[in-house]
């Protein structure tokens, strides 16, 4: 069965909008686990726009399932991962101007620097996942670098508006998913998945984990809104 790993980055996005202490992504992670999440994912960006170092450290102490740390393949991030010891570290590309991760890590072109990061993490006993576009040369390079896991970037599929394009992107993902499995690596997928587009991705043969964040946080804001307003009204009117 495909596992659901919940990314709580955007709980922290709301907190950082006010630089305050709520909502706390650590509390969201607890609730996600109580609801059946198989793992918790966070992306500690170099610009610290949402998740903070404190979040990663506290999550390491509190997550009862598995903690997946997404990070750029830099020396500073590797040092932090080695200190915190997530269950898996996923190397992702980062660009400070981007709104979200725009593409997979180009391990084919950045082979030497990625190899260095993979080596450091492996030396510390941390399994490595690589966040890749569904392309043959990227997957072959991931296998060559000794990555245990590949997470296929589902962004192009998720963003496709025309059905024909979506089908095409799904076919590409399915072809490259088989390649990941043939190379003996664990197959994960994620980015931009939501309640409308998740089913065909969850049905890809051999996919082990889906990492989903923005879609779940967006839904949570709406499905929890009525209760939050009712509770505030009750407090104001002394009915609580």
Ligand X SMILES: CC(=O)[C@@H](O)[C@H](O)COP(=O)(O)O
Ligand Y SMILES: NCC(=O)COP(=O)(O)O
List the binding residues for 1-deoxy-D-xylulose 5-phosphate.
Answer: 9-10, 45, 50, 100
Residue with tokens 């991705």: 201
- Which residue in the set 15, 45, 179, 191 belongs to the binding site for ligand Y (CB under 6 A)? 191
Q: Which of 176, 191, 209, 211 is catalytic?
A: 191
CB of 56 to ligand X, least distance (A): 13
Please give the residue ranges that form the binding site for ligand X (CB under 6 A): 7, 9, 43, 45, 70, 92, 100-101, 131, 190-191, 213
Of 55-63, 121-129, 213-221, 230-238: span binding ligand Y (CB under 6 A): 213-221
CB of 160 to ligand X, least distance (A): 16
Q: Which of 142, 130, 141, 145 is nearest to 188 (CA)?
A: 130
Task: Residue 215: name its binding partner from ligand Y, ligand X, none (Cβ under 5 to 8 Å by kind).
Answer: ligand Y
* Helix ranges (DSSP H) in 63-213: 75-84, 111-123, 136-145, 155-159, 163-182, 198-202
Which pairs count as long-range contacts for 161-170, CB under 8 Å and 24+ apart, including other chains? 166/197, 170/200, 170/201
CB of 190 to ligand Y, least distance (A): 3
CA 48/CA 92 separation, integer angstroms:
15
**Active site annotation includes 191:** yes
CA 38 to chain centre: 13
CB of 100 to ligand X, least distance (A): 3
**Active site annotation includes 211:** no
Binding positions for 3-amino-2-oxopropyl phosphate are 7, 18, 192, 213-214
> Does 212 participate in binding ligand Y (rule CB under 6 A)?
yes
> Does 41 participate in binding ligand Y (rule CB under 6 A)?
yes
Query: In the window 139-178, what residues touch ligand Y (CB under 6 A)?
Result: 151
Which H or E run contains 223?
helix 214-223
CB of 161 to ligand X, least distance (A): 20
Binding positions are 7, 9-10, 18, 45, 50, 100, 192, 213-214
**Active site annotation includes 176:** no
**Peptide bond before 23: cis, by omega within 30 degrees of 0?**
yes
CB 7 within 8 A of CB 41: yes
> Does 186 participate in binding ligand Y (rule CB under 6 A)?
no
Q: Which of 1, 13, 51, 6 is nearest to 212 (CA)?
A: 6
Structure tokens at 141: 């390079």
CA 19/CA 14 separation, integer angstroms:
9
DSSP state of 86: -
CB 77 within 8 A of CB 46: yes
Comparing CB distances to ligand X, the nearer of 142 and 227 is 142
Q: Which residues bind ligand Y (CB under 6 A)?
A: 7, 41, 151, 190-193, 211-215
């Amino acid at each position: 069965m495909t596992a659901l790993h919940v990314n709580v980055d955007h709980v922290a996005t709301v907190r950082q909008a006010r630089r305050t202490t709520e909502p706390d992504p650590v509390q969201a992670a607890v609730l996600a686990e109580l609801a059946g999440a198989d793992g918790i994912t966070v992306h500690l960006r170099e610009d610290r726009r949402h998740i903070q170092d404190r979040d990663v450290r506290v999550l390491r102490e509190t997550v009862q399932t598995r903690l997946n740390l997404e990070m750029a393949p830099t020396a500073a991030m590797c040092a932090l991962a080695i200190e915190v010891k997530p269950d898996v570290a996923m190397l992702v590309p980062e660009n400070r101007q981007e709104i979200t991760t725009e593409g997979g890590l180009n391990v084919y072109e950045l082979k030497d620097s990625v190899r260095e990061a993979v080596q450091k993490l492996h030396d510390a006993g941390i399994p490595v996942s690589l966040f890749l576009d569904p392309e043959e040369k990227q997957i072959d390079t991931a296998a060559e670098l000794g990555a245990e896991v590949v997470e296929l970037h589902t962004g192009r599929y998720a963003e496709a508006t025309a059905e024909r394009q979506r089908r095409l992107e799904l076919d590409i993902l399915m072809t490259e998913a088989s390649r990941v499995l043939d190379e003996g690596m664990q197959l994960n997928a994620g980015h931009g998945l939501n309640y409308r587009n998740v089913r065909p991705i969850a049905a890809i043969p051999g996919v082990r984990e889906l990492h989903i964040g923005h879609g779940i946080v967006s839904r949570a804001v709406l499905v929890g809104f009525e209760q939050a307003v009712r509770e505030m009204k009750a407090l104001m009117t002394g009915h609580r």
